[in-house]
Amino acid sequence: MAYRLPPLGWIRAFEAGARLGSFTAAADELNLTSTAVSHQIRSLEKFLGYPLFERLPRSVRLTGMGAAYLPDVRHALEQLATTTVKLFGTGAGATVTVRAPLSFVSLFLAPRLQRFQSAYPGISIQLFSLVWADALPDESADIDIRFGGGNWPGYEIEMLLKEQSVVVVPAHLSDVARQGQHKLFAELEKQPLIHIVGYEDHWAESFRLLGMQPPSEKRSIRVDNSLAALMLAANGLGSAIVLKFYADAATALLPVKAPTNFTLPVESAHYLLTPQSREAAKPEALLFRAWLIEEAQRYQNPGKNGDKRKPR
């Protein structure tokens, strides 16, 4: 089959110009002159028979056809780069820097990362943890994962993982749960409750959903991340409400239980963020990103990919 394809150089010039909004910036990234980039894009437009950019005094802007063309062009380039790394490896010292919430690193990535390292031993991973979803951007990170409502100006955003929350209790309370979730919550009214900053309403909302009066907060403990909440619960200092995939990891490692079928809907989710101003991603970063998306899908579709509770 003969493919009707424009030269790869023209495609790269188009993608860079679209991403950066400037032929001059695209030329700097591609180590070409602005004239060369402009010529390549005009050649592409002539080949396709449509204008892809509006030329403005100080920048360029995609036309409707250019905007429609860009997503598939970007996906094709990423696929080509990822496949090249998969088959032929990377250069010496290839490193992927990942920035993610502390709890996500500890309870989702850590139990699974061995799979990536086994498949791609030539790629080193650097993990940097953050606590707050509104932490200042760090464009040195190849992969940036945030938990929140999906609104981060200046980033391209893709949902990675969305899950409900569940109740996690110290192991000694699991026997109470066998008598039913209302019995468990009645017992929890008498126990210390652990609140995660930013989500302090979760306990009150859970009691209300069960038609019960929310307890007082006299014996409550507040923490700023789910990992700390689970460690406190493991040491008998109270019960916590955390995302289900955090609970799955914790119950496999710590003396805690998630003994009830009660779930609390959560609007927030984990997202993959890419700065809109960033240069083209490194091939090894694209490979890690694709692996991470597969791991999230593996968790969310256990019937097809394995048991949720056995991430190894």
pLDDT at position 59 over 90: no
Whether residues 100 and 235 fall in one domain: no
Q: What is the DSSP letter of 123?
A: -
Whether 2 is in a domain gets the answer no
Domain CATH code at residue 246: 3.40.190.10
pLDDT the model gives residue 247: 96
Whether 206 is in a domain gets the answer yes
Q: How far is residue 17's CA from residue 26's CA, in Å, rounded to a whole number? A: 5
Q: How confident is the model over 263-286, as a mean pLDDT? A: 83
When pLDDT is cut at 50, 70 and 90, the band that residue 9 belongs to is very high
pLDDT the model gives residue 228: 96
Structural domain tally of the chain? 3
Q: How confident is the model over 177-192, as a mean pLDDT? A: 87
Whether 312 is in a domain gets the answer no
pLDDT at position 311 over 50: no
In three-state form (DSSP H/G/I as H, E/B as E, the rest C), the secondary structure along 27-78 is HHHHCCCHHHHHHHHHHHHHHHCCCCEEECCCCEEECHHHHHHHHHHHHHHH
> For strand 194-196 and strand 124-130, is the pairing parallel, antiparallel, or unpaired?
unpaired
More confident residue, 16 or 218: 16
Whether 311 is in a domain gets the answer no
Whether residues 61 and 140 fall in one domain: no
Query: Residues 6 or more apart from 233 whose CB is under 8 A from it?
Result: 168, 169, 170, 194, 239, 240, 254, 256
Q: Find where tokens 């689970």 sit.
A: 230
Pick the last residue of a domain from 35, 69, 88: 88
What global pTM score does this model have?
0.74
Pick the last residue of a domain from 88, 121, 136: 88
Whether residues 103 and 77 fall in one domain: no
Whether 310 is in a domain gets the answer no
pLDDT in tens, 104-113: 999 999 999 9
Whether 225 is in a domain gets the answer yes
pLDDT the model gives residue 312: 37
pLDDT in tens, 21-53: 999 999 998 999 999 999 999 999 999 999 999
Whether residues 169 and 242 fall in one domain: yes
Pick the last residue of a domain from 39, 62, 88: 88
Phi then psi for 73, rounded to 5 degrees? Answer: -60, -45
> For strand 165-170 and strand 143-148, is the pairing parallel, antiparallel, or unpaired?
unpaired
pLDDT at position 144 over 60: yes
Whether 74 is in a domain gets the answer yes
pLDDT in tens, 217-227: 767 899 999 99
Whether residues 157 and 177 fall in one domain: no
Whether residues 276 and 138 fall in one domain: yes
Whether residues 41 and 113 fall in one domain: no
Whether residues 38 and 63 fall in one domain: yes
Whether residues 129 and 185 fall in one domain: no
Whether residues 151 and 192 fall in one domain: no
More confident residue, 135 or 61: 61
Domain CATH code at residue 16: 1.10.10.10
DSSP helix/strand/coil, 226: helix
Whether residues 83 and 120 fall in one domain: no
Q: How confident is the model over 231-247, as a mean pLDDT? A: 95
pLDDT in tens, 74-92: 888 888 877 877 766 665 5
Whether 112 is in a domain gets the answer yes
Give the structural domain span for 34.
Answer: 8-88
State the sign of the Cα–Cα–Cα–Cα dihedral 211, 216, 220, 222.
positive
Whether residues 246 and 173 fall in one domain: yes
